[in-house]
Chain A
Amino acid sequence: DSGVTQTPKHLITATGQRVTLRCSPRSGDLSVYWYQQSLDQGLQFLIQYYNGEERAKGNILERFSAQQFPDLHSELNLSSLELGDSALYFCASSVAGGGIEDTQYFGPGTRLTVL
């Protein structure tokens, strides 16, 4: 157990809908990262927040948005969902603002299925 929690564990929805994924980082961690992992593929970095501010942006679609709240939990909002958005969405947290020595700890993931 990494100490990072994600809800919900599974989510099934229809195309065109909007969903919100939630992540609570480990106690004391200031950074939250969001990743997308499609079936049998590697992780695609989406976005990072550090202490409430956006820190780095990866391959995040315009239909997706995220934020980090004052209590440091984060939400990833996915809208106008398409079949291709079906994937595992991982949240990770780290103590500091990033860097190769700033180990990322991953939550269990949310499996999103778009029908």
Chain B
Amino acid sequence: GQSLEQPSEVTAVEGAIVQINCTYQTSGFYGLSWYQQHDGGAPTFLSYNGLDGLEETGRFSSFLSRSDSYGYLLLQELQMKDSASYFCAVMKDSNYQLIWGAGTKLIIKP
């Protein structure tokens, strides 16, 4: 079967750095994406990794290790507005559908 594992909840302090991990077991792998979803809102795309390594976009970075079937999202200089759920999603083969993790709720404290 296909599965993605990510922590259900992470708590951090405003201004700090937090890492949200995602491990996957899928029959194929084309890439790993990250999406942010605020309560009651729609998911919005943050980043994707098709190759091993770190991709940086402002305060957010995403890392992938295909040999370890593992990736993470790194959020720096946390702001209260970063409080949201973060989903990793894997495209496992050429039929284009994304397999989604259950999401990590990020709680930020002042």
Contact = CB atoms under 8 A, between A and B. Distances in A.
Interface of A: 2, 41-45, 48, 55-58, 90, 92, 97-109
24 contacts: A2-B44, A41-B102, A41-B103, A43-B43, A43-B89, A43-B100, A45-B100, A55-B95, A56-B95, A56-B97, A57-B97, A58-B97, A98-B91, A98-B96, A98-B97, A100-B32, A100-B50, A100-B91, A101-B31, A103-B48, A104-B45, A104-B98, A105-B45, A106-B43
Given A42-B87, A100-B50, A100-B91, A108 B96 contact: no
B83 interface: no
A97 B96 contact: yes
A100 B96 CA distance: 8
Interface residues of B, number: 23
Nearest to B91: A100
Given A56-B95, A100-B31, A101-B48, A90 B42 contact: yes
From DSSP, what is the main secondary structure of chain A's interface residues?
Answer: loop
